[in-house]
Amino acid sequence: MDAQGTSQGPILPPAGVVHGPLGWLRANLFSTPFNSLLTVLCLYLLWITVPPLINWAIIDATVSGTDRTACAGASGACWTFVKMRFGQFIYGLYPIEERWRVNVVFAVGILLVLAALSPRVPGKLWSGGAFVFVFPVLAYVLLGGGLGLPVVETRLWGGLMLTLVVATTATVVSLPLGIILALARSSRMPIVKGTAVVFIEVVRGVPMITVLFMASVMLPLFLPPGMNFDKLMRALIGISLFASAYMAEVIRGGLQAIPRGQIEAAQALGLNYTRTMGLIVLPQALKLVIPGIVNSFISLFKDTTLVAIIGLFDLLGMVQTASTNPEWLGSSVEGYVFAAFVFGCFCLAMSRYSQALERRLETGHRRR
């Protein structure tokens, strides 16, 4: 028994490898003269950028006080501005005494999203279904008013709340609509296919700004006089349709990657079109294009800032307006940094989640 290991010769460690931190440094940072040069250059760039940034943002920054005078003489960031306008950045011009309604919507939304997205919580169908079907109604009533709550007009909505309303609506609408458009475009029926192609190509050929402009300025011209629906609603429809067209193309890419044999096998078993697509093709296709879908969501989230063009003030619009206020002249940098930080957090969260999701779906089986 004990001769087994030795009869094949000793097991040697790989030659020429230095272990420990020094080995790591040599393997990863200084493996060639050129890499060493790059490493030194990067360290230098970090040295000239990071310490001043920390000085500005944290060490020399001011948070105290209630107006600009508090920051006079300080060389760092004036976070007093962000502190004093924080409410506006988050809620826009939403009446202060009604802000609890927004908080409730935020809280319910976050809970549902966490429940639907985190792998450990059971009942995905319920939480996901509630988020897609029940939550919008709840949010609509709570945010807009009615059923005994005072009405808050959408022109008062703004800040991060508006950003999230627009982004969530467009996300929730664009995924199913995108799937339908992608299936329609892959259809063999000429009219269905033609309609999908025309819609997708027209929408993709037009910039988002134009879609918003059309929705807000041109559309009312075609509506009968007296019929005028909400500006925010028009923007939501415009952005959702816009996002759907892009989503459709991402998903179509996934549909095309599924081998023909998968569809044939499903058909041969007697599954009809709906079940073939729903049980066999889409689960595989969507998994393949998760990076593309999240990419669309992230770019959609950032595109929501364009609603400023039609006079809706999302987070960025709110920051911009606040910093042009004479009280706070010269504070725009702090405002933009804050907006960038918030947008960055949301986008990072989406991207990390998609990576985790990809890894989770990949475990257990590989594609042939």
How far out from the chain centre does Cα 117 lie?
A: 14
| Identity of the residue, 26 or 360, whose beta carbon is nearer to another protein in the bound complex | 360
| Identity of the residue, 158 or 254, whose beta carbon is nearer to another protein in the bound complex | 254
Cross-strand bridge partners of residue 62: 78
Distance CA 351, CA 294 (A): 7
Residue 268 C-beta: closest distance to another protein, Å: 4
| Identity of the residue, 33 or 364, whose beta carbon is nearer to another protein in the bound complex | 364
Residue 281 C-beta: closest distance to another protein, Å: 10
CB atoms within 10 A of CB 135: 20
| Identity of the residue, 71 or 293, whose beta carbon is nearer to another protein in the bound complex | 293
Q: Residue written as tokens 């081998």?
A: 259
Residue 259 C-beta: closest distance to another protein, Å: 8
Contact present, 255 and 183 (Cβ < 8 Å): yes
Cα separations (Å) of 35 from 20, 42, 44, 49, 50?
20, 10, 14, 21, 22
| Identity of the residue, 138 or 271, whose beta carbon is nearer to another protein in the bound complex | 271
Residue 262 C-beta: closest distance to another protein, Å: 6
Residue 192 C-beta: closest distance to another protein, Å: 16
| Identity of the residue, 293 or 312, whose beta carbon is nearer to another protein in the bound complex | 293
The SS3 assignment for 365 reads: coil
Residue 293 C-beta: closest distance to another protein, Å: 17
Residue 119 C-beta: closest distance to another protein, Å: 17
Beta strands in 183-322 (DSSP E): 313-314
Q: Where along the sequence are the contacts to another protein (CB under 8 A)?
A: 259, 261-262, 264-272, 275, 279-280, 283-284, 287, 364-368
| Identity of the residue, 277 or 339, whose beta carbon is nearer to another protein in the bound complex | 277
- What amino acid is encoded at 293 in this protein? I
Distance CA 116, CA 122 (A): 8
Among candidates 320, 324, 299, 301, which has minimal Cα distance to 311? 320
DSSP calls for 104-162: HHHHHHHHHHHHHH-TTSS-HHHHHHIIIIIHHHHHHHHHH-BTTBPP--GGGBEHHHH
